[in-house]
Structure 1
Amino acid sequence: MSKKNTDASGLEIIETPEALAGQINKAEVFFLNNRKVVLGIGGAILLAVAAFGGYRLYIDSQEDAAQIALSGVVYDFEADSLQKALNGSGGNEGLLSIADGYKGTDASNLAHFYAGVALLKQAKFDDAINHLESFSSSDLLVAARAKSLIGDAYLEKNQPAEAISFYQKAADYDKNEYFTPVYLMKLALAQEKANQAKDALSTYKRVIDEFPLSSEVVNAKKYMGLLEGQVGK
């Protein structure tokens, strides 16, 4: 009988050549008996690898074209030529075309953000929300900005409960002295509109207590005082 040893991990180690040959023989028998299954699995893996490689090559080529298209349209966006930025001009693609036509690319993702901002400025709130929700970013400051803009769109639609949800998300992203107080002030406004006076008071107090050097503190104190007068606190 072959001797077996056990390594530190608890796995059995075959010591003799005869035992090793026996294991190889078992493997050969298994392969012969299950050849179609084994080859089928192997072929599927190779196809999956090839498909992924082809997809990456396609996305890389799309990325180059999308970045070129986006670099041109950003000038229209920054010049506040929103219609041109969204729909394109002079043969150039617009943000809407880039966002939908180059899916999976970084340029498409960024086009969703720009399109959301432009549509929000045009008071096309539902379309703005759709594009901003399609945007994602590993940069927490930009991600928070997108959530805040979605909150703005819902507030404009007179849906303060939805706005509260997104302002809260924006305020919770990567808290900092510059943007968090702004998001908290928007949150408090939405809470007031939703008749959540106590929550709004708590939010104004957060601005005052947690961000005492922020320029938002003056307004936070003012609105907090007005709200306290209304609720009789």
Structure 2
Amino acid sequence: MSPIIFNQNMATYKKKYKPEGKKEQQQVEEMESTTAEVFNTLDETASKSEQWIEKNSKLLFTSLVAIVVIFLGYLAYSTYVVAPNELEASNELAFPRKYFDEASTAGSGIDSLLTLGLEGADGKYGFIDIAKVYSGTDAGNLANYYAGVSYLQMKQYDKAIEYLGKFDSDDEMLGPVALGAMGDAFADINQPKDALEYYTKAANKRDNNLTTPLFLYKAAQTAMELKEFSKAASLFTKIKENYASSEQGRDIEKFINAAKYAAE
């Protein structure tokens, strides 16, 4: 805003109000002085802003161009690199999953099927290679899950923990199941404290009537093993109060009583 406009504002202000008496005249003069100072300050600020913009216009334009270039680069990367890579990884995952699914229903030879799924065959990637080559994709992340569960079934617990630890998902089922599988692996290598930690995480990951009571129950049983009876009673009670209709909710009262009795 220019000084001319400020002066017009001051003139308008003077016309609108005519003071009566010296006291009021003094008050008006003080108000006019304050208003003038405000207008002058605003004028100086506006001038300085204009000068700064004028002085840094080249820098501002360069920054704007850089932002646009970055955005367009990200868009191009997502469209022409990430999306095709994601599709390719998803297609690769179909081969080892076939063996993983066969192993889940096979009566024998399970380890050989799981190994084919892990290592691949006939020039096709297995879960291990997909997790490595397509790291950062959804399919690569999922390959870590399948690899971890495969190693768990083969009783190679350290590798199971390694791959399951790389998997991350907020999926209603896979998220809790992966954490619960880590709990199983720690339980099988006789590390109950770690098992309890992961069973608890699995129970809290998602709230549903399938995985939550299952892992609450496993956590409670592990707490009993660790002689943390009060914690066990609390976990069993949570099943009774919130998941009474689940499979774990059946006869839960006897487990609560056993934990409470042991805690006394």
- Calculate the TM-score normalised by the size of structure 1: 0.78
In 2, Cα distance between equivalents of 1:160 and 1:216: 20
1:76 pairs with 2:102: no
Residue 38 (structure 1) aligned to one of 48, 54, 60: 60
> Residue 167 of structure 1 aligns with which residue?
199
* Aligned-partner SS, 1:213: coil
Are 2:244 and 2:250, in contact at CA under 8 Å, matched by a contact in 1?
no
Which amino acid is 1:145 matched to? V
Are 1:185 and 1:220, in contact at CA under 8 Å, matched by a contact in 2?
no
Residue 87 (structure 2) aligned to one of 46, 64, 69: 64
* Aligned-partner SS, 1:140: coil
1:194 pairs with 2:226: yes
* Aligned-partner SS, 2:66: helix
Residue 52 (structure 1) aligned to one of 63, 74, 77: 74
Are 2:119 and 2:128, in contact at CA under 8 Å, matched by a contact in 1?
yes
Distance 1:40 1:199, change over 3 A: same
Identity %: 28
Which amino acid is 1:52 matched to? Y
Residues 179-201 of structure 1: CA deviation (Å, up to 9, x unaligned): 22211111012212322122112
Distance 1:50 1:185, change over 3 A: same
* Higher helix proportion: 2
* Aligned-partner SS, 1:79: helix
1:119 pairs with 2:151: yes
Please show how residues 1-233 of structure 1 align to structure 2 within 5 Å.
1=3, 3=5, 30=52, 33-34=55-56, 37-56=59-78, 57-80=80-103, 81-218=113-250, 220-224=252-256, 226-227=258-259, 231=262, 233=264
In 2, Cα distance between equivalents of 1:65 and 1:32: 50
Residues 108-135 of structure 1: CA deviation (Å, up to 9, x unaligned): 1211111111111122223222322322
Distance 1:190 1:55, change over 3 A: farther
In 1, Cα distance between equivalents of 2:153 and 2:251: 25
Q: Which has the larger radius of gyration?
A: 2
In 2, Cα distance between equivalents of 1:218 and 1:152: 22
- Calculate the TM-score normalised by the size of structure 2: 0.69
How many Å apart are 1:226 and its aligned residue? 5.0
In 1, Cα distance between equivalents of 2:263 and 2:134: 56
Most deviating of 163-172 and 219-228 = 219-228
Structure 1 unaligned segments of length 5 or more: list them.
Answer: 6-22
Q: Over aligned residues, Cα RMSD in angstroms?
A: 2.9
Residues 15-61 of structure 1: CA deviation (Å, up to 9, x unaligned): xxxxxxxx89x75x656633653354245324422431343121111
Distance 1:127 1:40, change over 3 A: farther
Which amino acid is 1:146 matched to? A
Aligned residues: 214
